[in-house]
Amino acid sequence: MRFERIGREPDYSRYMDLKEGWLDRRIFSDADIYEEELYRIFARSWLFVAHESQIPNSGDFLTTHMGEDAVIVARQPDGSIRVMLNSCPHRGNKVCFADAGNTRRFVCNYHGWGFDTAGELKGMHEEYCYDAGDIDYKNHGLKNVAKVGSYKGLVFATFNGDAPSLEAWLGDFRWYLDMILDNEEGGTEFIGGCIKSVMSANWKFGVENFIGDAYHAGWTHDSGCRSMNDGMPFPPIDMQNSYHASVNGHGWEFGTEGVGDLVLLGRPKVMEYYNKIRPKMAERLGEMRSKIFGSVASASIFPNVSFLPGISTFRQWQPKGPMQFELKTWVIVNKNMPDDIKDEVTKGVMQTFGPGGTFEMDDGENWENCTTVNRGVVTRHERLHYRCGIGRQIEHDTLPGIVYRGQYNDANQRGFYQRWLDMMTHDEFGKMPARPEPQLGNVAETRDLPGLFAL
């Protein structure tokens, strides 16, 4: 699936100098830049579309967006998953209006064109009005995306037939992802449905906040933290034993104390559960990853998925223009977790990072103000500072990726915008540099890694 662009092709490198540590504010409000993002990033990247637990049975479906393109995600009779445009090829009307459900057919409200769960056209209202040769059923189904892939329960799709495999897209970041997706036998699931909210902010502010901005937490979230934890302030950061790690625009910032985020969740039973399984987690993933999990941490998968591994909120920033996004939020838990602990996690997520959560409201206000203020006709020409920790890159004997010491850092943010620049600049994936070169090779399971990475 290829896309021909007609219009300007500016030099996007002029909008940032990441070696010097600055960004041009216009990338957060310029309509032309946003339009190019839809083509160059969202139409070419692997995008998260579902968790397998949301569509376990044949005929199960949900609707979502890939960029601004509406899509249907449907489980097939053979167990595979199809992703297709939620737009009738007759006049373009939205075919499915439900958020989720189970069905044998999708039928357009406008003229009654009906499609099976694979998107194939099966019939329409007053079918007799079409003469022989008027319509080719095989070529007038719902357009399927180019590729669909799954990694340990997370389902991704891409419109780009030339995209690398999903495993290559995630690359060495799988080592970090397995801390949330594979810390216990049985994998994970989404529970409690999806919460949707709309913010008047640019989608990148949410992603960059979760990919590396631990710095804001002790100030922005101080009152919320104290209200949740008997007046105790935000846990102190150990700058010698905390890190930023980036892989091709994906990023995870974290401590190694194992408890910070679990404390912030404010649910003692959840802390007890993870402390109980931590020795087995160490056996499964290695000592280092068992120490990282539960620490103050946040992460993002390029381009627009984020999560807090210890707090169990999983979210996607869906772009709705340069100055608005829809935030979709789920609760992710271990499938084998006892039901009462799942309930405790859900309550904790809603009290912290739900739409009315003590922390979520703080962030939303900041992102909206960053977006609106940055677009001032004079203000937009001033540079933004992204130099924090710029000289702290290290070689670590256990952690894969581009690693910087100290959680208070802009390293992962710089890594995210570097991949943004790569996508906006290069027409072919093969011409984009690996950042960094893969270290883990073709290992299918990070649990099986030999040597230092297994520590």
Domains and CATH numbers, the chain: 47-149 (2.102.10.10), 172-454 (3.90.380.10)
Q: What is the mean pLDDT of residues 216-233?
A: 84
Q: Which of 99, 111, 381, 427 is catalytic?
A: 111
* Residue owning tokens 């594979």: 182
Residue 4: which pLDDT band, with cuts at 50, 70 and 90?
Answer: low
Number of helices (H), then strands (E), belonging to the chain: the values are: 12, 22
pLDDT tens figures, 60-76: 999 999 999 999 999 99
C-alpha 420/C-alpha 435 separation (Å) is 12
pLDDT given at position 281: 96
Model confidence, pTM: 0.95
| The dihedral formed by the CA atoms of 59, 64, 66 and 70, expressed in degrees to the nearest 10 | 90
Closest alpha carbon to 415 in 120, 208, 133: 208
Q: Which of 24, 116, 363, 410 is catalytic?
A: 363
Cα 211–52–95 angle (5° rounding)? 100
pLDDT given at position 450: 54
Q: Which of 125, 216, 397, 427 is catalytic?
A: 216
Q: Is the pLDDT of residue 127 over 80?
A: yes
Compute the mean pLDDT over every residue in the chain, rounded to the nearest whole number: 93
At 146, the amino acid letter reads: A
Residue 453: which pLDDT band, with cuts at 50, 70 and 90?
Answer: low
Q: Which of 213, 362, 410, 422 is catalytic?
A: 213
Q: Which of 51, 65, 221, 250 is catalytic?
A: 221
Is 111 annotated as catalytic? yes
pLDDT tens figures, 244-266: 999 999 999 999 999 989 988 88
Is 213 annotated as catalytic? yes
Closest alpha carbon to 301 in 455, 99, 152, 126: 152
Residue 3: which pLDDT band, with cuts at 50, 70 and 90?
Answer: low
Lowest mean pLDDT among 21-25, 274-278, 316-320, 436-440: 436-440
pLDDT given at position 113: 96
pLDDT given at position 85: 98
Q: Is the pLDDT of residue 317 over 80?
A: yes
Residue 92: which pLDDT band, with cuts at 50, 70 and 90?
Answer: very high
Q: Is the pLDDT of residue 442 over 60?
A: yes
At 109, the amino acid letter reads: N
Q: Which three-class secondary structure state does DSSP give residue 74? A: strand
Specify the higher pLDDT residue, 449 or 425.
Answer: 425
Q: What is the mean pLDDT of residues 413-437?
A: 95
pLDDT given at position 205: 97
